[in-house]
Amino acid sequence: MAKTQVSLTVNGAQVDALVEPRTLLIHFLREQLSLTGAHIGCETSHCGACTVDLDGKSVKSCTMFAVQANGTDIRTIEGMANTDGTLHALQEAFREMHGLQCGFCTPGMINRAYRLLQENKNPSEAEIRMGISGNLCRCTGYQNIVKSIQYAAAKLAGVPFQEAAE
């Protein structure tokens, strides 16, 4: 099949590649760029495991073709750490607050939470739950994911994290 040239930015690096028009963005990221952090759970836009940040929006990368990403700026979980190599507040939060168990949903969940906190620096619990409603987790029951996002919001704001009373 004829291939199409795409040029985009991925985790701050310029990427030029040839892709088949039928290639989904998630397959391009995982198979051509070896960025396997974004996972494939359903390929039908339900689970959110494939979520990446694209031009300032959370995008389920199984729902678009790689050719549609031409000219865009993408961040995957591989680009989430701080430039000095330390964990991003969200990564630290998920570790500290036990926001993951098997970890399958985690890259998508953290990417989604990243955009949520860009849009709302101090979300309520209800806003967090609504914000991650497109990302499914089969392990945690979500409580510790919510706590992780609250922890990260506090850390990014430079204030101590206080767990809400149960």
Residue 92 exposed, middle or buried by CB count within 10 Å (0-12, 13-18, 19+): middle
Q: Give, in order, the Cα–Cα distances in Å from 102 to each of 98, 99, 137, 139, 146.
A: 11, 10, 9, 7, 17
8 A C-beta contact, residue 56 and residue 118 = yes
Q: Which of 15, 67, 81, 139 binds ligand FES (CB under 6 A)?
A: 139
* Nearer Cβ to ligand FES (48/79): 48
Q: In angstroms, how far is the first alpha carbon of the chain from the final one?
A: 57
Q: Do residues 25 and 10 lie in contact, with contact meaning Cβ atoms separated by under 8 Å?
A: no
Interface region with ligand FES, contact rule CB under 6 A, candidates 44-52, 66-74, 75-83, 150-158: 44-52
Q: Give the number of residues in contact with ligand FES, rule: CB under 6 A.
A: 23
Stretch that binds ligand FES, among 15-23, 79-87, 97-105, 150-158 (CB under 6 A): 97-105
Question: Should residue 42 be labelled a site residue for ligand FES when binding is judged by CB under 6 A?
Answer: yes
Question: How many CB atoms lie under 10 A from the CB of residue 123?
Answer: 19
By the rule CB under 6 A, 47 interacts with ligand FES: yes
Considering only 60, 75, 88, 112, the residue that binds ligand FES (CB under 6 A) is: 60
Query: Applying CB under 6 A, which part among 70-78, 82-90, 101-109, 122-130 lies near ligand FES?
Result: 101-109
* Residue 41 sits in the site that holds ligand FES (CB under 6 A): yes
